Amino acid sequence: MNQQIEQIKGVAMGVVNGILASARKPSVSFKRVFELQPGEREEVLVVGSVHRDYCASYCIAILNPRVTLQEQLQPTVAYSPASLKELVAGHCDAMVQVQVIDQCTTVASSYHADQR
């Protein structure tokens, strides 16, 4: 379970760092789906926002989200950890919510389908 959370957290941090390094605007919101590993069926939905001028970002990474969950999550919404867990429960395999401020990464919440 922890390995899966760490793996999707790594995808999220890669997305955040890439956007921070290449953003032309001070504030960028994003919502994208990536393969967890090339050639595998597992997908990671990464939703969040990056604020270059403040060196701050907020990101949610979700492993194998159901279509309804993909449609429901928005990059400009700051979900509380409790409401996010309730929202994703039963609609994905795993989730991690990450906040990065001045290169200090904090996991705000995480969920794994086996956690019931």
> What would the 3-class secondary structure string for 38-98 be?
CCCCCEEEEEEEEEHHHCEEEEEEEECCCHHHHHHCCCCCCCCHHHHHHHHCCCCCEEEEE
pLDDT band at 115 (very low <50, low <70, confident <90, very high): low
Quote the pLDDT of residue 39: 80
pLDDT in tens, 9-56: 999 999 988 888 888 889 999 999 988 878 888 999 999 999 988 888
Helix (H) or strand (E) holding 111: strand 104-112
pLDDT of residue 20: 84
Q: Over pLDDT 70: what percentage of the chain? A: 97
What residues contact 30, with CB distance under 8 A and at least 6 apart?
A: 15, 19, 46, 47, 48, 49, 50, 75
pLDDT above 80 for 1: no
What is this structure's pTM? Answer: 0.90
Q: What is the pLDDT of residue 55?
A: 82
